[in-house]
Amino acid sequence: MRSDEQEYAALALAAQLAEQYRREVAAAPRHPTASYAEIHARFDGPVPAHGKDAVAVIEELDAGARDGLRGIVAPRFYAWVNGHSHVAGVAADWLTSAWGQNCAGIPMSPAGAAVEAVAARWLLELLDLPPENSVGLVSGATIANFVGLAAARGELLRRQGWDVEADGLYGAPPLRVLLGADAHNTVYSGLRYLGLGEKRVTTIATDSLGRMQPGDLERALRASSDPAIVIGQAGQINTGVSDPFAEIVPMVHAAQGWIHVDGAFGLWARASDKHRHLLDGVEQADSMAIDGHKWLQTPYDSGFAIVRNEEAHRRAMDMQASYLTRDNANHRHPGAYVPELSRRARGFAAWAMMRRLGRSGIAQMVDEDVRIAGILAAGMAAIPGVTVLNQPELNQFMVRFGAQGDEAKGDRNTLATVEQIQRDAQAYMGSAQWRGLWVMRVSVCSIATTEQDAAITIDAVRSAWEAVQAGR
Ligand SMILES: Cc1ncc(COP(=O)(O)O)c(C=O)c1O
């Protein structure tokens, strides 16, 4: 038996290494200097025959992994849509792990369940959403989309006298799924998990930035009397725009449908007085998905499934067993709104970030990131040969390089410039396809990014593009 002192020393070492990493990351390279294969080779080998001292394990992990880490929490990181894993949230997450709470139910963790209930209510208030919504704390927006769509499927079939939770989809009445042509991949995953099929959807036309066209939706809704699940979007991943909810939500309800909104990052605009108007009408939606690990800056494993019909939410997710006692019937039961049983007490980190930033801090961060996205887009548009495809309405925009009159050449230039930016390591961007063309996608979703970072980033983009033109 090893002494407890060794284990506690491992905790202290982890804290020290974590602090060192976070202090140094802003100046560190924005791409890993060791490859996947190198890291894999370091860790690979036979299953250890014997254990090792806990301090030595943590040292081995840090030494082996450090140069293969991506600098996601560094200030000039703009790829995908990633938050900052804020240190306050990380600290709360350490306690969550150390406390070892299983937040399956109130008896297992009264504190985990209570703090989660408060975080859930605060979320609704921050986003100015109706208080009757129920909220499940899940691993991310992918699962939050699945939960919202599960509630939608159950409720629309229940209204037709069918209990899908009991009887499944065998012989069930028909359901339709309507979604915008620029929906995120993860809503298709949710449809797949639910037996609704990725291909059995009606695609609604979108405008040049990816917003659903209300006229097309109305026509599609009218085309059949089968009940419809409509999937809207708050924050398109390439352009940041949101669907015109004030128009489409009443349309869906008039047709007795259910509207689910994928708002992984964009729904956070509701926390800002300045940007809330972009999402007018979304508050009437039936269900929504939003991430904590994007614009709330929590560490990963933080998403929220919001459902306006609590009964439908619970019918789709709750599970019963004799050993899962419900001795606090009047309180919110955390496991009733999520697909898992054993689960991380996610409320602690979510609560900690809402407490750390407060209403004003979250609004300020959203406003500042949008402002910086605007500065970046304007700065890049001023570089000769660079085209900014959309002046950002929120925090996402796309750029192409050297595409004038020759799209194939534009694709090659764009991919080469993104690679050059990644090699130069002053900033980190990713590429994506939009309407069949390669673009550099820029996402400003971190509380760490400043106006000074924007200036450095514009210079980095200029010099990478010059290097590509010079054939270097
Ligand atoms: C619009 C949108 N929906 C869903 C997701 C999936 O979220 P997660 O990766 O947290 O599951 C993302 C992630 O980037 C997103 O941007």
User: Is the minimum distance from the CB of 141 to ligand 1 under 6 angstroms?
Assistant: yes
- What's residue 30's pLDDT? 63
Rounded to an integer, the average pLDDT of 153-170 is 97
More confident call, 26 vs 11: 11
pLDDT at 330: 83
Testing ligand 1's pocket by substitution, the residue of 81, 182, 291, 395 carrying the most ligand atoms inside 8 A of its CB is: 291
Predicted confidence at residue 328, as pLDDT, reads: 66
CA distance 393 to 386: 19
CA distance 215 to 183: 17
Q: Could you tell me if residue 425 is left (phi over 0), alpha (psi between -120 and 50 degrees) or otherwise beta?
A: left
Rounded alpha-carbon distances, angstroms, from residue 212 to 203, 234, 237, 464: 10, 11, 14, 35
Percent of the chain at pLDDT > 90 equals 94
CA of 186 to the centre of ligand 1 (A): 7
Please identify, by atom number, the ligand 1 atom nearest to the C-alpha of residue 81: 14
The pLDDT of 94-105, averaged and rounded, is 96
Average pLDDT, the chain: 96
- pLDDT tens profile 46-78: 999 999 999 999 999 999 999 999 999 999 999
pLDDT band for position 25 (50/70/90)?
A: very high
CA distance 447 to 391: 21
Q: In this predicted structure, what is the pLDDT of residue 4?
A: 85
Q: Which atom of ligand 1 is nearest to the CA of 235?
A: 1
Task: Please name the residue whose Cα sits nearest to atom 2 of ligand 1.
Answer: 264
Specify the higher pLDDT residue, 472 or 168.
168
What letter represents residue 233's amino acid? Q
The answer to whether 230 and 217 have CB atoms below 8 angstroms apart is yes
Alpha-carbon dihedral 278, 283, 285, 290, rounded to 10 degrees: 70
Task: Give the pLDDT band (50/70/90) at residue 1.
Answer: very low
pLDDT at res. 323: 67
Over residues 433-454, the pLDDT tens digits come to 999 999 999 999 999 999 999 9
Q: Per the confidence metrics, is the pTM higher than 0.75?
A: yes
pLDDT confidence of 32, banded at 50, 70, 90?
Answer: confident
Q: How many angstroms does the Cα of residue 435 sit away from the middle of ligand 1?
A: 20
Q: CB of 194 closer than 6 A to ligand 1?
A: no
Mean pLDDT of 173-190: 96
Tokens read off for 422: 């990644």
Q: What is the mean pLDDT of residues 337-356?
A: 97
Q: Quote the ligand 1 centre to 83 CA distance (angstroms).
A: 12
Which helix (H) or strand (E) segment holds residue 316: the answer is helix 310-317
Per-residue pLDDT at 464: 98
Q: What is the mean pLDDT of residues 142-166?
A: 98
Q: Which atom of ligand 1 is nearest to the CA of 236?
A: 1
pLDDT band at 223 (very low <50, low <70, confident <90, very high): very high
Q: What is the reported pLDDT for 326?
A: 63
pLDDT confidence band for 2 (50 / 70 / 90): low
Ligand 1 pocket, mutate which of 185, 237, 298, 300 (most atoms under 8 A from CB):
237
User: Averaged over 250-271, what is the pLDDT?
Assistant: 98
Confidence of residue 28 (pLDDT cuts 50, 70, 90): confident
* Shortest-distance atom of ligand 1 to CA 262: 3
Say if residues 106 and 336 touch (Cβ distance below 8 Å): no
* Statement: residue 3 has pLDDT above 80: no
Identify the residue whose C-alpha is closest to ligand 1 atom 14: 81
Ligand 1 pocket: which of 80, 142, 346 to mutate (most atoms within 8 A of CB)? 142
pLDDT of 298 > 50? The answer is yes
Q: How far apart are CA 87 and CA 21, in angstroms?
A: 11
Cα 267 to ligand 1 centroid, rounded to whole Å: 12
